[in-house]
Chain A
Amino acid sequence: MSVKLSPQEWQLISSYLDNQVTAEEKSAVETRLKQDEQYHQAVDGLQRTRALLRSIPARKAPRSFALTPAMVAPKPLSRWLPVFNWGSIAASAAAVILFFATNLLPGLSLAPQAGAPMAAEAPAVEMAAPDAGRVEESNYSRSPIILWGAPLAYGKGGGGGADTSMEKVPGGMGGGPEPMPTLSLEQPAAPEAMPTQIEPLPGNPILGLPDAELAGREIDRAGNPLPAGEAEALRISPANLAAAVLAFLAVCLAIAAFTIRKQLRS
């Protein structure tokens, strides 16, 4: 017959057997021992188990575990571990500080002032790009993708062509939601992108090419030149680029540190 006691009661019995109870607890256990036969059995059972465990003799060490100098010599890789650890931490901290100083603290901004609001809007434009049909006219007209004198940078942020200059092309990041129809002898534009009827613009035989005074400037879909601030905002600031490089470096160093630590443990 097994004795039903609460975990607290078993714990009290166990501690009582090791004399790890207060005087009151000891007195309570001993009083109950005299009155309760089941409680007596519980104490007796645990006491015999304890005695059996304590009768097992300790084993001697089969050999000496004294250390030799070779055992405690630092492994070559271990020297690099602190370098990678601290390098990763420093690079992470620098990336975070640079990013916040550039984007969230306008007073300390290392980038053009107009960059912050436009940077926040950029993802919205990116999100809208795959579903061009839902793009509102207001956004549509602001999409700054048309350049003259350089290949067009359109289509889901795909970037400009190989000969696109960073000075004039906003990195292809602000690609418009809908490709601008172009005329090419070698490769005609996709049927759905082609206007149903092409009407040549007055004074200019090439569709969509703006006036001569707009050459080299960034314009929107309505053909108006973009304000200087907005055009600047579309470019990746050197500070953000540096933050991204630092973050990448931090990840690489952390992976190297983790790998070394794993090798040292094995």
Chain B
Amino acid sequence: MDEARLIEFARQGDLEAFNRLVLQYQDMAFNLAYRMLGEDDPAEDVTQTAFISAYRSLSTYRGGSFKAWILRMVTNACYDELRRRKRRPTIALEPALPDEDGEMESPAWMADPGAGPEEQMDQAELQQALKRCIQALPDDFRSIVIMIDLQGMDYLEVAEAASCPLGTIKSRLARARLRLRDCLRNFWELLPSQFRLDEEGKR
């Protein structure tokens, strides 16, 4: 069954049809929430909340990219969570130091299968550095750079998901990339050689 028919059935109250759409987009939705919030549990909660909101708001879907519409729900739920955190700041119980940080998401990414313990440690540290730099971005820059560079979405879809004009998307993306470049310079020794700038290697 194609997506349009699933959406139509879901709008008529068919939860099974909607759940097939959920399964189709849940990885992307969770990934966006995780990158926006930086933690697993809140990302899971926000993803679930976003799907519930999406089901209840199906009547407001007016066509266009369903993926963009779902991701807008996730982005809005993330903004709500971030606002809630600002209103009620909490202190994390997890260790703050990177070498004691137990939260290491899939340290095998970018890994050479034959890498030794030292290289694996470097990769985990790079992962943490990337995470910090992404988290340091303003919320609306972060959502754009996640959707375009990490999710591989095109500009028009992101404009639809973020409810912003195309020019705003381009501007925010450029500024986000610049900030990330500057932030990652602090961790240049962790970067694989193909990602290092020439000038950094000459320091």
Tell me the A residues contacting B by CB distance below 8 Å.
1, 7, 10-11, 13-15, 18, 20, 41, 44-46, 48-67, 69, 71-72
A to B CB contacts below 8 Å, 15 in the list = A20-B170, A46-B177, A48-B197, A49-B180, A50-B177, A53-B145, A53-B150, A56-B130, A58-B150, A61-B27, A65-B22, A65-B29, A67-B18, A67-B19, A72-B56
B155 beta carbon closer than 8 Å to chain A? yes
**B85-137 at interface with A (beta carbon < 8 Å):** 105-106, 109-110, 130
Q: How far is the CB of A3 from chain B (nearest CB, A)?
A: 10
Partner of A62, one of B44, B152, B155, B177: B44
Partner of B31, one of A11, A44, A59: A59
Partner of A57, one of B106, B145, B170, B198: B106
Secondary structure class of chain A's binding surface, majority of residues? helix
Nearest CB of chain B from residue A15's CB, rounded to whole Å? 5
Give the docked Cα–Cα distance between A191 and B203 (Å). 93
Beyond the given pairs A7-B171, A52-B195, A61-B47, 11 more chain A to chain B contacts, judged by CB atoms under 8 angstroms and listed by A's residue number, are A14-B170, A44-B197, A49-B181, A49-B184, A51-B195, A55-B110, A60-B27, A65-B22, A65-B44, A65-B48, A67-B52
| Known pairs A56-B109, A59-B106, A61-B27; A67 contacts B195 (CB<8 A) | no
Query: Known contacts A11-B171, A13-B174: does B184 contact A52 (CB below 8 Å)?
Result: yes
A63, B34: Cα distance in complex, Å: 13
CA distance A185 to B28 in the complex (A): 88
Assess A50 versus B149: contact at CB under 8 Å? Given A59-B31, A67-B52: yes
A72 contacts across to B, CB distance below 8 A: 15, 52, 55-56
Which residue in chain B gives the minimum CB-CB distance to A20?
Answer: B155
Are the CB atoms of A65 and B26 closer together than 8 Å? yes
Which residues of chain B are within 8 angstroms of A57 by Cβ–Cβ distance?
A: 106, 109
Q: In angstroms, how far is the closest chain B Cβ from the Cβ of A34?
A: 18
Check if A52 sits within 8 Å of B130, measured CB to CB: yes
Contacts of B51 in A (CB 8 A): 65, 67
Check if B52 sits within 8 Å of A61, measured CB to CB.
no
CB pair A45–B22 under 8 Å, yes or no, is: no
Most central of B48, B178, B194 by chain A CB within 10 Å: B178
In angstroms, Cα B151 to Cα A180, docked, is 82
Which A residues are CB-close (under 8 A) to B48? 65, 71
Q: Counting CB contacts under 8 A, is B191 at the interface?
A: yes
With A49-B180, A67-B22 as contacts: A14 and B55 at CB distance below 8 Å: no
Cα distance, A51 to B180, chains bound together (Å): 12
